Amino acid sequence: MSGVVVITGASRGIGAACALLAARAGHAVAVGYVSNAAAARRVVEAIAAEGGSARAIRVDVGSAGDIKALFAAADAMGPLVGLVNNAGIVGPRARVDQIDAGRLERMLRVNVTGSFLCASEAVRRMSTRHGGKGGAIVNLSSAAAKIGAGGQYVDYAAAKGAIDSFTLGLAREVADEGIRVNAVRPGIIDTEIHASGGEPDRVAQMRDAVPMKREGSAEEVANAIAWLLSEKASYVTGAILDVTGGR
Ligand code: NAP
């Protein structure tokens, strides 16, 4: 079933790789970005160059109003069939006793509330209970949810732990309404997120701690997400798939 797939944070990294694959699967892609309009434009152009259809839409997933506007814009592109809750942030390395209420509030608002509200909009459109034709949601968790990221960013790990529980609960809630809900838990993936947390060398530093002794690529994570979105995963819901090289 092809239609519109909304991908938050699709201007760079894992989300951008997902956008290309979703377009190749025949979907029109709503390419979410928050500040890097040029990067979002490049993704849209790359999709168009392959004959696909995409539109860049600015959305801060920390804003409930932006999320409403994102889905209204996606409605104009056609019927929604998928959502990838990909936008996410990390903070600089900090112990729990150094994390203040402001940082914690933003970490949870962007990483948890944003995914929750986007999924809510998607369910209202895709659920057979609401007259929809079904669809799929994929949430971005992290290996940090399992490891806890002590001494690094427990706030981020806890946010991703919430994403795991959210995935399990929503999957069961809408399983008989035509919607599958799954998550991927990436490990050490070569994107700009590490630099945004003040650690541009993190991938090189962590490589040896990965059983496969290498980082993953955005495309390797996107392949797992594309499979979960597709009909090939038609009996898969409530799954949390590690894409971690064994970590
Ligand atoms: P990235 O390279 O840092 O890209 C982040 C993307 O999210 C960009 O498109 C950015 O938009 C967008 N974004 C940032 N803040 C946003 C906000 N408030 N509202 C909406 N969009 C926002 O990230 P990534 O590494 O691809 O990570 C993607 C997801 O995978 C995240 O949920 C992350 O937690 C998870 N993950 C990543 C790794 C890893 O090692 N890379 C590991 C585990 C989990 P702009 O381009 O406009 O700034």
Element housing 47 (H / E): helix 37-49
The token pair at 156 is 């981020």
Residues 178 and 133: beta-carbon distance below 8 Å:
yes
Ligand 1 centre to CA of 130 (Å) is: 30
Are 114 and 15 spatial neighbours (Cβ–Cβ below 8 Å)?
Answer: no
The number of residues making up the chain comes to 247
| For the chain, domain boundaries | 4-243
Residue 1 scores a pLDDT above 90 = no
Average pLDDT over residues 132-155: 98
Q: Is the Cβ atom of 67 under 6 angstroms away from ligand 1? A: no
| Superfamily for domain range 4-243 | NAD(P)-binding Rossmann-like Domain (3.40.50.720)
pLDDT digits (tens, 9 = 90+) for 151-177: 999 999 999 999 999 999 999 999 999
Determine what percent of the chain is predicted with pLDDT higher than 90.
Answer: 100
CA dihedral 145, 21, 138, 56 (to 10 degrees): 100
Average pLDDT of the residues of the chain: 98
CB distance 197 to ligand 1 below 6 Å? no
What sign does the CA torsion over 64, 195, 203, 221 have?
A: positive
Give kind and range of the element (H or E) at residue 58: strand 53-58
> Which pLDDT value is given to residue 75?
98
Enter the tokens of residue 169: 């609960």
Q: Which two tokens stand for residue 149?
A: 């990221």
Please work out whether the CB of residue 247 comes within 6 Å of at least one atom of ligand 1: no
Q: How far apart are CA 213 and CA 207, in angstroms?
A: 6
Report pLDDT digits (tens) over 75-114. 999 999 999 999 999 999 999 999 999 999 999 999 999 9
pTM above 0.85, yes or no: yes
Instruction: Please determine, for residue 58, whether its predicted confidence score (pLDDT) is greater than 90.
Output: yes
The pLDDT confidence band at residue 242, using thresholds 50, 70 and 90, is very high
